Amino acid sequence: MHEHKKVARYASVFGSATLLSRVLGLVRDAVSASLFGTGVAMDALVVALTIPNLTRRFFGEGALTAGFVPIFSDNLHRRGKEGALDLANKVTSVLLVILLSLLVAGWAGLWALGRFLPLGNRGELIIRLTEITLPYMVFICMVGFFMGVLNTFRHFAVPALAPAMHNIVLIAALLFICPHLGEWAIYGLAFAWLVGGMVQFGAQLPVLRSKGMRFRFCPTLRDPEVQRVLRLTLPGIFGMAIFQINVVVDRFLALVLGEGAASALYFSNRIIEFPMGVFVIAVATAILPVMSSQTAARDIDGMRKSFSHSMRLVFFITIPSSVGLIVLHRPIIRLIYEWKVFGAASTDMTASALMYYAIGLVAYAAVRILAQSFYALKDTTTPAKVGACAVMVNVLFNLLLMYHLGAGGLALATSISAFFNAAWLFYLLRQKMGCIGGKQMVSSAARICSASLFMGLVCHGLYAYSGVRFPANILGDKLMALGIPLGAGLLVFFVTARIFGLRELEELKGSLWSRKST
């Protein structure tokens, strides 16, 4: 099997498992929205989860994984399975020391903030919720790191299914515990986040054991291979730190905008993460070990083909998804979130943010694939530098747009900076690797855009019809108002894609059939 077919197959395995997790995630968010809306409590929890999720990006699925997987693949190629697992043990031990130190320091910092600063009711709520959710960062970072180990062994299903278990815990808490806690309900949800992280962590341990990993606590910075990992990781952590500062800035600027803005950004971003998580992250996750192996084998031509193929697959998903989300942003929000306390005002704010986030969907996806390509080449510095510049662009446009467009302005600034990031990374990767199939990608993207345009026109016309006929007051109306234009639009897209001869459609179908037959 050619490597580009392997990428498609691995992505289909990861994507299929992630699909279940993302569907459950939407159910979780829908129930959260119905209980808490876009009020102060939900704003506080969104901000409280910023630190654990920020740390996860550094040490879990972000910089550490990007620095570790290429070295782990190289060790697997040179030293065999035993040598590679020895390296995994040492890095795991170092990571645990770092995370536990951060946990203790975080609790101490929160205690100091609560004791010495006049925070007000909202600030105190954020502090208390952060104290509860902070240990979640230890478990979720280990989950992300172990995912890199398992993915290198070409095991994708369990790491992708682990978040489904997390979401099941949260849904159970939202349905059966939080409604009985009254004003303490948000605390119940915070504890559920922590328990869900523990469940995710535990789910991966049996699989790691089956791959031969036996944990031994042996933290060391003297091992040459650990030092190689750190040399690759530190620039990435710097870049991620700068990038994540922007996430923190967005959250706090949303608090400045007033009640509901932080929640609106969170709920709309969760919709964006659906196509990202089901397919884009699946491709990015699959391509890193494949390209890392090609780098170890000095197969530069194979790397170019893997990159080009992965980008075209991502375009095939994200371009029509972007058009669909832009056209149908309001009925999507109504169907998923507009229940009970999540009213029309919350829908307006969240739908606006979703539309502006959707503009940058293609760019978010491209950045993921481009960054993974640099990481496979053992270059974590370039994405860090470009990311730092993109953050400055993001902050500039945040300040220019937030007071005119509200939460939507913060989302639009994110999209603008993502296009800046993607364009610069693409230019630098071409400088680094030479020809990377740019003509093929442009040709494929042009045909996908044409098919998506037809789809968008059909969706817009039918939504104008169904939105009047089904005013979205009850579940049946909401389903029809969204389902009619969405179903017809998808049919038009796939028919047009076949007419235009888009190979990505057949390749995706082939990867799914080959997976089912095994």
Residues 30-82: tens digit of each pLDDT: 999 899 988 889 989 988 888 887 777 666 555 667 678 778 878 887 888 88
Q: What is the pLDDT at residue 411?
A: 92
Q: Does 302 map to a domain?
A: yes
488 burial (CB, 10 Å; 0-12 / 13-18 / 19+) is: middle
Range of the domain at 328: 16-436
pLDDT tens-digit series, residues 203-219: 889 988 988 888 888 88
Average confidence (pLDDT) over 119-143 = 89
Q: What is the pLDDT at residue 184?
A: 93
What is the helix (H) or strand (E) element at residue 134, kind and residue range?
none
What is the helix (H) or strand (E) element at residue 156, kind and residue range?
none
What is the helix (H) or strand (E) element at residue 221, kind and residue range?
none
Q: Does 125 map to a domain?
A: yes
How many of the other CB atoms lie within 10 Å of CB of 220?
11
Residue 143, amino acid: V
Query: Per mean pLDDT, which of 171-185, 251-265, 299-313, 460-474 is the most reliable?
Result: 171-185
Q: What is the pLDDT at residue 398?
A: 94
Q: What is the pLDDT at residue 517?
A: 39
Q: What is the pLDDT at residue 81?
A: 82
Q: Which of 20, 42, 44, 268 is nearest to 163 (CA)?
A: 20
* Model confidence at 130: pLDDT above 90: yes
Q: Does 342 map to a domain?
A: yes
CA-CA distance, 385 to 134, in Å (whole number)? 29
Number of domains in the chain: 1
Q: Does 462 map to a domain?
A: no
Q: Does 1 map to a domain?
A: no
Q: Does 449 map to a domain?
A: no
Residue with tokens 């498609």: 8
pTM: 0.79
Average confidence (pLDDT) over 117-123 = 76
Average confidence (pLDDT) over 288-313 = 75
Q: What is the pLDDT at residue 234?
A: 74
Q: Does 289 map to a domain?
A: yes
Residue 110, amino acid: L
Q: Does 78 map to a domain?
A: yes
